[in-house]
Amino acid sequence: MKILITGSSGLLGLNLALELAPDHTVVGADRNPLTSQLPFEAVGVDLLDPGVVAALLEDVQPDAVIHCAAMADVDACESEPQAARRMNAWLPGEIAAQCARYGIQLVHISTDAVFDGQSGGYTEEDPPNPLSEYARTKLDGEEAVFSAMPEAVVTRINIFGWSATANRSLAEFFYYNLAAGKPLKGFTDVIFCPLLVNHLAAVFALILEKKLSGLYHLVSPVGLSKYQFGVRIAELFGFDPTGIEPVKVADFGLKAARSLRLTLDTSKLSQALGRPLPDVFDGLERFYQLHQQGHQEKLKAMLG
């Protein structure tokens, strides 16, 4: 299968491209494509430029698109709402319209943050209530995708992993600060269900193989607090967990509001795939193994 992955220099897109490249023909697209030692073709495009999406699809002729490119910095979206809207809401609709026109399968990436986190355990039927500009624009992106291409797949995810720039995930934040012996804080009242980006590749491959369509929750079936997440990283890597101070998010003064209890019901997707989803604890073990195998050094080298 030929798969076009947008955002192929980012946390999710790069790791997906690397995981899928051995079994598929992968083409990456990013405005700042990585230049060195890439085992897949990467195209440099600003996806917001007029006519670029149609031209890219005509040129690459993929069987499927996994649309990972986004404005994913929650606080930047709060400061620049119009840019966030164009990237997170308009562009997904344009990609869906062009995929529908050319008969290309589409998996669009959304976020667990469409929920306000008051109750947790959300199913795909539960009404979203986004608290931030990022989450509002991502929810509008979901609607734009389905309105242009009802047969598309939209997955609501939460992720962690190693990135080329070493600063794209909470797991990297904990790892690098713990390694440097810096004091850290971890939220005890924010519960989330992240999956390792590398684990998502097999799930997306199966979604495409089974030709699913519709909205799916794709997160770890079990959750933990961000503080517990940091402590587990410290334990795995042999750092002192007492270097992480347990705090409440309200004490922190973040620019954009955060949802507190982002546990999602994943049974719709696991039933459709006929297998359980990986979980955050398996993901953390593999995050450690990837470190031992020099994965983040390999990613950094791709910056050229």
Q: How far is it, in rounded angstroms, from Cα 233 to Cα 178?
A: 9
Q: Is 143 in the site for ligand NAP (CB under 6 A)?
A: no
Site string for ligand NAP, 147-166 (x = CB under 6 A): ----------xxx-------
| Smallest separation, CB 168 to ligand NAP (Å) | 4
| Smallest separation, CB 61 to ligand NAP (Å) | 19
Site string for ligand NAP, 163-192 (x = CB under 6 A): -----x------------------------
- The torsion angles phi and psi of 256, rounded to 5 degrees, stand at -100, 145
Report whether 232 contacts 284 (CB < 8 A).
Answer: yes
Supply the residues annotated as catalytic.
134
Which is it for strands 191-192 and 224-225: parallel, antiparallel or unpaired? antiparallel
Residue nearest to ligand NAP (CB): 10
* Cβ neighbours around 79 below 10 Å, total: 12
Point out which residues pair with 159 in neighbouring strands: 195
Residues, the chain: 304
Provide the edge-to-edge strand list for the sheet that holds 105-111. 41-44, 25-30, 2-6, 64-67, 105-111, 153-157, 214-218
For ligand NAP, the closer of residues 68 and 153 by Cβ is: 68
Site string for ligand NAP, 244-283 (x = CB under 6 A): ----------------------------------------
Which is it for strands 64-67 and 159-160: parallel, antiparallel or unpaired? unpaired
| Smallest separation, CB 17 to ligand NAP (Å) | 11
Interface with ligand NAP in residues 14-73 (CB under 6 A)? 30-32, 45-48, 68-70, 72
| Smallest separation, CB 15 to ligand NAP (Å) | 8
Point out which residues pair with 244 in neighbouring strands: 184
Q: How far is it, in rounded angstroms, from Cα 247 to Cα 209?
A: 43
For ligand NAP, the closer of residues 80 and 126 by Cβ is: 80
Of 9-17, 56-64, 245-253, 294-302: span binding ligand NAP (CB under 6 A)? 9-17
Q: Is 223 in the site for ligand NAP (CB under 6 A)?
A: no
Beta strands in the chain (DSSP E): 2-6, 25-30, 41-44, 64-67, 105-111, 153-157, 159-160, 184-187, 191-192, 195-196, 214-218, 224-225, 244-247
Among 66, 96, 109, 178, binds ligand NAP (CB under 6 A): 109
Binding site for ligand NAP (CB under 6 A): 7, 9-13, 30-32, 45-48, 68-70, 72, 87, 109, 111, 138, 157-159, 168
